[in-house]
Amino acid sequence: MAPIFNDPDLETKEQTVVPGFQTRADLATAGKVPNRRTLRSFFFNVEPDDSGCWLWQGALNTSGYGVFRGVPAHRWSYGWFVEAFPRDLQCDHLCRVRRCVNPAHIEIVTRSENLRRAADARPTCKRGHIWAPENIVRWTLASGRVVRTCRHCKDHSNAQSMARKKAAS
């Protein structure tokens, strides 16, 4: 695969290629004139894969997200190439790959929306039961939050609770 950042001749500005932009003039028009050293450092840690993800090869935090210049690499990438966004919003990886730093694979959402999407993306409950429509029980908490539970796990939990109550009496 061709490198994402190609700058073999440091004196020729036209040879710098940044994804999403054809030339450095396009970057200037968009109000984004990147520092070459910063971009080179960033893309040194990026390995593109066949699905279009830019996989971070540098340092990872304990949650498996890349870290660049002291911030999550995917947040830095989106903020640099697309737009800055408030700290109270989160990056949702549409590709579901934590190491991906491709800004085209990132959407800025609220924390609750990010958590909802992550839960919806899981194919099974924590005990391995498939999230099929007939296996989901939903109810609304007093706070207004909608909760989903696996029907098999809920039935098992109810049976254990009844057995405890019966043993205690």
pLDDT tens digits, 43-88: 999 999 999 999 999 999 999 999 998 889 999 899 888 888 788 8
* pLDDT for res 30: 53
Which range of 12-26, 30-44, 57-71, 140-154 scores highest in mean pLDDT? It is 57-71
35 vs 63, more confident = 63
CB atoms within 10 A of CB 18: 19
CB atoms within 10 A of CB 97: 18
* pLDDT for res 31: 52
pTM above 0.75?
no
